[in-house]
Amino acid sequence: MNDLTNIIKERRSIRKFTSQLPDKSLIDQVIEAGIYAASGRGKQAPVVIAVTNKELRHRIMEENCAIGGWDKGFDPFYGAPVILLVIAPEEIPTSVYDGSLTLGNMMLKAHELGLGTCWIHRAKEEMEGALGDEILNKAGLSGKYIGIGHLALGYPDGEAAPIPPRKDNRVIYID
């Protein structure tokens, strides 16, 4: 069943990917879901940078690994062939919220399409360094951008984890 509630409930963070690159049409559909997210004052400020270039993917991996303090050789993107980096202009006050919603939409759309994702953190620090400048340059962007987050994107390698039960006392009605 592919109704929205199931997609929301069954989506899981995937931490093992096959090396198969999804067709561009699938990647496009995931990104489209992201850029249709609501945004503060309708500014549509977040930008999605899809990295399929192996050399750049490797450098982002190394940078993320270093920022995270892991030993060299660990891949914080779990072998995913695509990295979707979401950035948003520094001057937009809702940038972090807008970008987070963009990432959330993309996670759900990817799951609907049979792809796996995992939100990978440390985009903020990454965009503050020299690699961030280089990424902006390669993307043809100027101005100041905050790194909001990445998605590791690809085909899951293995079965999805069961749905973790929700914690109690997280919903409060005030009637």
Ligand X SMILES: Cc1cc2nc3c(=O)[nH]c(=O)nc-3n(C[C@H](O)[C@H](O)[C@H](O)COP(=O)(O)O)c2cc1C
For ligand X, the binding residues (CB under 6 A) are: 12-13, 15, 118-121
Q: How far is the CB of 44 from ligand X (least distance, A)?
A: 21
Q: How far is the CB of 15 from ligand X (least distance, A)?
A: 6
Task: Kindly tell me which of 167 and 174 has the beta carbon lying closer to ligand X.
Answer: 167
> What is the DSSP track for 66-89?
HHHTPPTT--TTTT-SEEEEEEEE
CA separation for the pair 107, 175 (Å, rounded)? 33
For residues 113-140, b (16+ Cβ closer than 10 Å) or e, as one string? Answer: bebbbbbbebbebbbeeebbeebbeeee
Q: How far is the CB of 100 from ligand X (least distance, A)?
A: 7
Task: Kindly tell me which of 118 and 136 has the beta carbon lying closer to ligand X.
Answer: 118
Task: Kindly tell me which of 159 and 175 has the beta carbon lying closer to ligand X.
Answer: 159
